[in-house]
């Protein structure tokens, strides 16, 4: 008990202040400034090119190996292989834009307005199609496990080809905004920039709002809900089958 009282007395002495328990020496009355924009830009100029280069190399190596295995050892007769081939193509398409972005982040855009539109469109086409193909492959696994008998009749090559064509069409349509709005703009400090420009502020704001909702709803919220639903149903189905087998 004596040790506790000594500790309590020491604690009260250390925290005894003149202003309602607050030590004035710990009060900061100066404004706390955020990181300077120039410092953030310098950090991004060093980090982003390295990140893009590593992603490009890993994507080329990994997807290249998968592509070789599919072409050499597998046949494009199963639904899974067709979807996997399209996923590899979309990943390689996305990766093909990364070297241009690495150079752009390191200095400025040096490839002209045509390549600005092309690289911006290819980047988003590859990104959107990758998300949709992953979602489509999850949905196909759901059909194969949960509705194995009913889906076996129409889970054929034509089903995979039509589904893949729909995914590519959606990805292309979603990337039209970048093809139209992206252009090269010269900035006095940053040099030549590849970004959405060339239209009035009102039009740019509307298109940016459309792009935000498009990415959030179509390429994030919908795939997330679909993947979660499919995996929950697959898990329930597998567990129910195991329970039946153990009875």
Tens of pLDDT, residue by residue over 81-136, are 999 999 999 999 999 999 999 999 988 999 999 999 999 999 999 999 999 999 99
Full residue range of the structural domain in which residue 176 is found? 35-246
Please check whether residue 39 lies inside any domain of the structure. Answer: yes
Model confidence pLDDT, tens digit, residues 4-63: 555 555 555 555 544 445 555 545 555 555 555 556 556 666 788 999 999 999 999 999
Please check whether residue 13 lies inside any domain of the structure. Answer: no
Please check whether residue 29 lies inside any domain of the structure. Answer: no
Residue ranges of alpha helices (H) inside the chain are 2-14, 37-73, 79-96, 98-106, 112-146, 148-151, 157-174, 176-181, 201-213, 222-246
Q: What pLDDT does 107 receive?
A: 87
Q: What pLDDT does 221 receive?
A: 97
Q: What pLDDT does 104 receive?
A: 92
CATH code where residue 114 lies: 1.20.1070.10
If you search the block for the tokens 């792009």, which residue do you land on? 211
Residue 15, token pair as written in the block? 């925290």
Q: Can you give the length of the chain in residues? A: 247
Q: Is 183 a residue whose pLDDT tops 70? A: yes
Give pTM, 2 decimals: 0.80
Kindly tell me the burial class for residue 31, based on how many C-beta atoms sit within 10 Å of its own C-beta (0-12, 13-18, 19 or more).
exposed
Contact 102, 54 (CB under 8 A): no
Domain count along the chain: 1
Burial 135-154 (b: 16+ CB within 10 A, else e): bbbbbbebbebeeeeebeee
Model confidence pLDDT, tens digit, residues 185-217: 998 888 899 988 888 888 889 998 999 999 999
Please check whether residue 21 lies inside any domain of the structure. Answer: no
Q: What pLDDT does 168 receive?
A: 98
Q: What pLDDT does 149 receive?
A: 86
């Amino acid at each position: 008990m004596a040790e506790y009282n000594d500790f309590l007395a020491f604690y009260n002495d250390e925290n005894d202040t003149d202003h309602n328990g607050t030590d004035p020496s710990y009060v900061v009355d100066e404004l706390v400034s955020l990181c300077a924009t120039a410092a953030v830009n310098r950090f991004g100029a060093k980090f982003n090119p390295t990140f893009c280069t590593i992603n490009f190399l890993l994507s080329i190596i990994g997807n290249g190996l998968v592509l070789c295995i599919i072409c050499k050892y597998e046949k494009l007769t199963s639904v899974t292989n067709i979807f996997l081939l399209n996923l590899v193509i979309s990943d390689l398409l996305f990766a093909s834009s990364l070297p241009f972005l690495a150079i752009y982040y390191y200095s400025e855009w040096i490839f002209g307005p045509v390549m600005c539109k092309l690289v911006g469109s290819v980047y988003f086409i590859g990104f959107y199609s990758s998300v949709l193909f992953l979602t489509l492959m999850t949905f196909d696994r759901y059909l194969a496990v949960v509705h194995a008998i009913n889906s076996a009749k129409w889970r054929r090559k034509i089903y995979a080809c039509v589904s893949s064509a729909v995914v590519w069409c959606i990805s292309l349509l979603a990337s039209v905004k970048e093809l139209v709005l992206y252009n090269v703009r010269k900035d006095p400090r940053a040099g030549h920039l590849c970004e959405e420009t060339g239209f009035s502020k009102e039009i740019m704001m509307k298109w940016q709002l459309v792009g935000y909702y498009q990415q959030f709803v179509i390429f994030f919220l919908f795939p997330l809900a679909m993947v979660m639903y499919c995996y929950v149903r697959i898990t329930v189905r597998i567990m129910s089958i195991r329970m039946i087998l153990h009875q």
